[in-house]
Structure formats: structure tokens, C-alpha cells
Structure 1
Amino acid sequence: MPSRPQLSQTGFDPLAPVGALVHWLAVATAEVALGVLVGRLGARLMRRLNLHWGWALVGLALVLTMHRALGSASPMLAVAMLAAATRVRRWHRDDVQAGCDLAASADRRVTPLSAFGRALGRSFHAFGRTRRIRPGASLGGSRGELVLGHEAGGRALEIPLSLSGGGRHMLIIGATGSGKTVTQTWIASQAIARGMGAVVIDPKGDRFMRATLRRAAETAGRRYIEWTPSGTSVYNPYAHGSDTEIADKVLAGERFSEPHYLRQAQRYLGHVVRTLRGAGVEVSLAAIVAHLDRDELEVRARQLDEREALVTHAYLDSLTSRQMRDLAGVRDRLAILTESDVGRWLDPRTAAVPRFDLLEAVRDRAVVYFDLAADSRPLLAQMLGAAVVQDLQTTVAALQGRPVPTVAVIDEFSALAAPQVVRLFGRARSSGLSLLLGTQELTDLRVAGRERLLEQVIGNLSVLVAHRQVVPASAELVARISGVRGAWKTMRRADGTFTRTRVREQVLRPEQVMELARGWAAVSVLEAGSPARIVSVMTPPAGPPASDVISDSLAGTSAPACGGGRR
């Protein structure tokens, strides 16, 4: 009887194909599971980066193209790309169907084609800049926007700032130590770098702002002019304007208990200005104060032609002793300026020192910095600030039809010259002037007698930058202005099931505004209608101490550019 063949003799194992199949299935299952896991993680990353699901298909195409180089990893990677594409596409479809903010977010997702177009556009723009760059040229993108800061996830936030399209007005608010001044300095320095002029009214004379703006002017090849109460340059805020405009400048910082006292002072000052100009005398604060004396004005009027002299003398003869006593109060308040140590720096007769004219400086796109020293001279600072803002109003009127891109930084404007600043809104845009206003709390704009001030300011803003607010009412106002967004509201039924509905909620809560860290701000681009975003604001590079910078040269002249700073 023949013996049975042994496995060892033939070398054939009937279970081998089954084992190989099981092994292959185990490996394939593991690869698919790993691919799905990687795909899910990739899908979450794509959603976080706001990428379109088409990127996963691009990745799949690359995997199939490079499968030989990828070797055994290619099947797992292909599964991962398919899983990511499927999941992100489903999320995208759900967002579109949900509508509101989710649909808007889906529409903003970056597709491979749009990314390629942006990269190509940036390349052409950079190539053009390297071939045609010139001093003072705009350093911004083609849309005329400035990167103000970045969100915690790294996404940049841009605000409108361009040389064309008229002025844009911004309000920067923030409690002491929140970073408000740094934000103002960053925007102003970037405006200078883009070719804009700058007029800065700084009540407290911040050394960092002063040094940074001076370096920005030197780098851009622009003239830097500085005026301080301690001198080195002369500024006459009453050099331009009609008799009515100059009267308003003189009385801008004054308060009258009754309107007729204001009208009386305006009328007298109108005669003073007309008489000075008719006699060939430059209108200045010192000349105005001197001629608030009735006898002085009467003597000066004798230099006019007969007809004008008769008008002035008739007016002076009509004044009663009580009216002259009322005018004496105006004269005494204005004499505080002329008789103080500041007076000689407002008097064009001061010799052997540089002198500048604000209108000429703006036309020249110079950088003009006013240090009002409000800490040591609070009353004088308010009077000076109001006069400078009024002179800016005259400058704006002169630039109608011939706009000059300029940024005007007015810090603590609510306490300095709020009514005058509000009047700037009307014609600033058409003259090319962009207002960059600063105050500590938003509720600073709610003051007795000016109930509509807050609405007038907010209604003219393009951008609101809110650093930390201490007053709860200010934080609530910021939260209300920040806009609304869509949100899911989940409700539990009596049977234990849940329902979800789409509702709208405020983008910011008041407590978020009150808890902002130093250098962080809630930014609302109001002209775009987009909701507020919380960003870390960019910081200008640090440089040498301000005292070193200012001592290099007299105000109104240029010094060699300082060395590079650190961020």
C-alpha cells in the first residue's frame, strides 16, 4: 500500500494562501484606518486654516503622481486625502446651507486656484516695485490696506489706509497702559512710509511717538517739524483764514455763559482782524490781544482808508462801558498765552528761530509734531490744542479740490477740542485728510451739553480700535458696535431630545473688552461692515532714546537717519 505524501516532501502548504490573504487584509485595514485618521486630522487643520476641500484633491493628485517615490506609504496617503476631501466637502456644504456667517466663511475659503492667482499677483507687484520704487512711494498693497495686527491664530487684520479715495477716519480708545499710543504711532508711521503727510497733536508729548515719527520722516525723506512750549520754532496759528475763521480760532478754547457774549466777542475780533490786515500788520495772537484794548484799535484804524476807518470808529463809539468790561475778560484770558513763556513761540516777531506755516507744511507732506505739555500746562494746552485744530480746519478748507493725503493724529481729543474736531469731519475727506483720534474711554464722548458727540464721531468712522476699557459702560458700547454673528442655539425638549436653531449674537462680550491684555485690541472695520476681531497690534521698531534724537538738530530741519531698531 503506497504511503501518503508528506507536506515536508512536497513543500506545499494549503493554508498559506489563506494566511497571506489574512495578512494582506490586516495590513490594508490598518492602512485604511490610519489613512482615515490622518484624513480627519488633516480636515480639521484645513478648516482651521480656512482652506477649500479642493486642496485635498490636489494632494491626492500629487500622491498618485509620486506613488513610486512614496512606496508603501502611498495607499495610506491616498486614503487620507480622500477622507479629508470628503469630510471638508461635507462641512463646506453644511456651512453653505446654514447661511449667515457660516456661508460667508465658506465663501472666503481659499481655493488652490485663488491662492495661485494671489501669489502671481504679489509676484508681479513685487517685480514692479523693484523696478519703479522711489522715495516716499506707498509701501502698501494694491488695495491700499495696512496690516494692523494678527489674531491669536496668526491671521492678519487689514485696515483701509491709502493715498487715494479720500480720507478715512479712525478712533483708537484705551485705558492708560493698554497700548493706545503705540497703536496710534504704528498707524501714523506707516502712513508716512506710504507717502502721506502727518500732523500730530500730542497733549502729553509722548517720547516714543515723537522719536518714532521723526525716524519715519527721515526714512521717507520728508521734512520733520516740531513745536513745543519750550521753543526752538515759531508757529502762528492765526496766519490764515477769514476774519470770521480767525475769530473762531481765537475763541475756540473759550467758554461763555450766554451766547450773546460769544457773538459780542466774535464781532469785536472781526473788526480787529480787518483793521490789522488793512493796516498791513500780520495777524497774530499778540497783535489781537493788544488791539482788544479799545484805544489801541482806534489808533490803528487811523491807518485804514477813510471808508473803512469810519466803519471801525463808528463801531467803537457804539460800545458801552459794560460791553468793554465783558471784552476785557476775553482779553485777560488770551493774555495768559501771550504773557506766558509760550507766548514768544506763537509770535511771528520772534527773531533768529525757525518758523513754519501749517498750510505750507501740509502741502509739502511734512511731518508736524505738536507737543502741548498738558501735564504741566493744562489750561494752555487746551487753548493751544483748540487753536491748532481750528488752523487745521482752515487748512482743510484751503485744500478743497486739491487734496493732499495727510493723517492728523489728535490724542485725547475729547478733552482737548471735541467740538472743533467734529466740524473737521464734514470736509476732511475731500481734502485728503484722515483723522486718527484717540481717547481713553468711549464714554468720554458722552458729556453734558454734547449729547450727540458720540453718535457724530461713530457715524463718521471707518475703523474703531478698542484697547482695554475700564468703565463697564464703555465696554458695553464697544460690544454693541462690534457687530453680530450667527450662532447655534441648543434647546432640550421634555422628552430628552435636543433641537438646534440658528440665532444671532454679539461678536464681543463686554467682559472680553475689559480683559484685553496690553497691546491687544478689538478692531471693527466699520466701513466694510465686518464684525470685530481681537488682534495683537503691530509695534513700531524701537530706536534710540527720544532725547538723543531731538538733540541732533533744530525742529524743522532734517538730521541723518537713525540706525535700524529692533522689534
Structure 2
Amino acid sequence: LLGIEKGSGKPVIITDREVNQHELVVGTTGSGKTTTVANFAESATQRELACLAIDGKGDPDLAEKARILAEKHGRTYKQFSMHWPSCRYDPLAHGGITELKDKLLYLTEWSEPHYEALAGRYLQFVFRVFERAGICAIIATQSLSDIEAAAGKAVVNQIIDNCNVFTIHRQNSPESAEILAGIIGTREGVEVTRQVQSVAGIVLETGLGSVRQVREYVVHPDEVKNLKTGEAIVVRKLTGEVLRVKVRKC
């Protein structure tokens, strides 16, 4: 249960089958993104499913929320961190010589487009493995531009292509809001114009005008920019549904 649909009050449930085809959650700081992710984590812990959360920013609030959820449902919780209390993990404890070499090699940042393209292909392979193994991948970020800055445009495109559910919280950047509105899609619309003229300072219609078909956003970028905390646009690509949702607090 993600939340309730605004207007109808109907519960919005994201199924395991949908999440198995992967989900992207985007939202600026304070928009409710962490609460959305926590709902999926709670669902997993309630049903005794394994849940692995990887936070590149090392947000202590997210780690604490995960710990509380695990304790609430009697699940084992382990945390690996470079900055906070942590379990121990030696990434070089296992693997052959070639594998260990690769682990160290890929600690280095590469600026060549060739390696960016490789990363995109590897990511697509990972998504396919997850899907076939029944593993659900939920990617959460403040904006797509953050991923592009860190990993390149190819990786952003791979994520968009391989996710079938999008949960979109508020975006402050006009560019980010427009990109996400474009991902949601457009529909046929009608644009009506009317000709006017000023007579003695009074604006009057002349009776002339035009009507033409246009493509318009299903969700306008301004709506994305004006979402309140805890509100989200949920897009189901498989069914074509676009829902305005109030996310539940867990």
C-alpha cells in the first residue's frame, strides 16, 4: 500500500509484479521520497522478505528508519557504513585474481565514453538478472540530473528504459520537471484561439479564430513543481495509469 489516490480516496497498491519490473522514485529534499521508499521496505519486512538498501549519500535518517522498521517487525538489521557504526565487510576476502583486480580497477573514475557505454550495458544486464530472479529494484534519487552527473546520460537512459513504475515527487528545477513530464507522456488536445480588437479602449472579440489539434502534457511540468510534501504522481507504464497520490506515512 503506497497511499491513497487524491480525489477518489482509493488505496494505491504497487504489486510485487510491478516492482519486479523496477521502479524509479524521484523527488527533491523534503518532498517525501524517503517515506515512499520506506513503504516498500516495510512491506518487505512485514512479509519476511530480504531488503537491501544502498544509500550513496549515507543519510543517517534513512538508516535509522530502516533499523526501526526491522525492529518493529522482528527482523535482523545490519548496517555497513564508512561514517556510522557498522558491521564489517571485506570486499577482497573472496574472488579469484581477475575478480580482485577488477574490484580495485573499478574504484577509479573513467572519463572515456567507452566506459560510460559499458556501464550502461552492465546496468541493463543487472536489471534483466533481477527481473528473472524475482528481485525488485527501486532506484531513488533527487533528480535524473544527479544520476547523469555521476554516471552519464547512457545510464540515465538505461534506468528509464528498464523501469515500468515511476513515483514522482516535487521537482524544483524547471528542466527536471519538464523531463519527467515528458517521460509521463502527452495526449491529443485542442487549442482554441480567438481574435480580438480594441474599440474605444474596450476589448471585443471579432468572431474570428482558429481550432487546431495539439499534443499536450498528461501532467504539466508546473504540476510537478507544485506538488506538496508527501504528494506524488505515480505512473504505471504497463497499464498507462497516471495517479495523483498522497503517500502514507509508515
TM-score by length of 1: 0.37
Which amino acid in 2 is paired with 1:147? L
Letter in 1 for 2:178: E
Summarize deviations over 1:25-81 as a string: whole Å, max 9, x none.
xxxxxxxxxxxxxxxxxxxxxxxxxxxxxxxxxxxxxxxxxxxxxxxxxxxxxxxxx
Q: Within the alignment, does 1:511 sit opposite 2:222 as a pair?
A: yes
More strand by share: 2
Equivalent runs, 1:414-563 vs 2, <5 Å: 423-447=125-149, 450-487=152-189, 489-490=191-192, 496=207, 504-530=215-241, 532-540=242-250
Matched, 1:214 2:67: yes
User: How many Å apart are 1:498 and its aligned residue?
Assistant: 9.2
1:380-439, Cα deviation, whole Å (9 max, x unpaired): xxxxxxxxxxxxxxxxxxxxxxxxxxxxxxxxxxxxx98875552231111222111121
| Structure 1 residues 179 and 196: alpha-carbon distance in aligned structure 2, compared to 1, 3 A threshold | same
Report if aligned partners of 2:22, 2:137 keep a CA contact under 8 Å in 1. Answer: yes
Q: Give the alignment partner of residue 9 of structure 2, picking from 154, 170, 185.
A: 154
Q: Given the alignment, which residue of 55, 72, 82 partners 1:202? A: 55
Displacement after TM superposition at 1:477 (Å): 0.8
Q: Secondary structure of the equivalent of 2:235?
A: strand
Q: Does 1:236 align with 2:99?
A: no
- Kindly state the Cα deviation for residue 258 of structure 1 after the two structures are TM-superposed: 7.6
For the residue of structure 1 that corresponds to 2:170, the secondary structure is coil
Structure 1 residue matching 2:52: 3-state secondary structure: strand
Shift of the 422–249 alpha-carbon distance from structure 1 to 2, 3 Å rule, reads farther
With over 3 angstroms needed to count, the CA separation of the structure-2 counterparts of 1:177 and 1:449, relative to structure 1, is closer
Cα 1:193–1:512 shift into 2, 3 Å: same
Relative to structure 1, is the Cα distance of residues 471 and 426 closer, same or farther in structure 2, using a 3 angstrom cutoff?
same
Q: Report the alpha carbon displacement of residue 449 of structure 1 after superposing the two structures with TM.
A: 7.7
Tell me how far apart the structure 1 counterparts of residues 121 and 79 of structure 2 sit (CA, whole Å). Answer: 25
Task: Report which of the two structures shows the higher radius of gyration computed on alpha carbons.
Answer: 1
Label 1:232 to 1:255 Cα distance change in 2 as closer, same or farther (>3 A).
closer
Change (3 A) 1:188 1:534: same
- d(CA) in 1 for partners of 2:234 and 2:144? 14
* Deviation by residue 1:462-481 (Cα, 9 ceiling, x = unmatched): 21111111222111111111
The alpha-carbon deviation at position 219 of structure 1 amounts to 4.1
CA distance in 2, matches of 1:213, 1:257: 35
The structure in which a higher percent of residues are helix is 1
Q: Which string of whole-angstrom CA distances, capped at 9 and with x for unpartnered residues, describes residues 253-288 of structure 1?
A: 2125789xx9xxxxxxxxxxxxxxxxxxxxxxxxxx
After superposition, the Cα gap between the structure-2 partners of 1:450 and 1:499, relative to the gap in structure 1 and judged at 3 Å, is closer
2:38, 2:65 within 8 Å by CA — same for their partners in 1? yes
Instruction: Return the structure number with greater relative CO, CA threshold 8 A, min gap 6.
Output: 2
- The gaps in structure 2 that reach 5 residues or longer are 196-204
| 8 A Cα contact 1:173 1:441, kept in partner | yes
Q: 1:429 to 1:154 in 2, by over 3 A?
A: same
Task: Report the AA paired with residue 67 of structure 2.
Answer: R
**Consecutive unaligned residues in structure 1, runs of 5 or more:** 1-145, 263-416, 541-567
**Inter-partner Cα distance in structure 1 for 2:190 and 2:39:** 38
* Percent identity of paired positions between Structure 1 and Structure 2: 33
* TM-score normalised by length of structure 2: 0.76
For the aligned residue pairs, the C-alpha RMSD in angstroms reads: 3.5
Cα offset, 1:214, TM superposition: 2.6
Cα contact 1:252–1:420 (8 A) shared by 2 = no
SS of residue paired to 1:171: strand
The answer to whether the Cα contact below 8 Å between 1:167 and 1:431 also exists between their aligned partners in 2 is no
Report the residue type matching 1:186 in the other structure: N
Deviation at 1:184, TM superposition (A): 1.3
Is 1:192 the equivalent of 2:42?
Answer: no
The 3-state SS of whatever aligns with 1:479 is helix
For the Cα contact (< 8 Å) 2:192–2:210, is it kept in 1? yes
Taking the TM superposition and a 5 Å limit, the aligned residue runs for 1:61-460 are: 146-162=1-17, 167-229=20-82, 230-256=84-110, 423-447=125-149, 450-460=152-162
1:346-366 CA-partner distances (Å, limit 9, x unpaired): xxxxxxxxxxxxxxxxxxxxx
Figure out how many residues of one structure are paired with residues of the other and give that number: 236
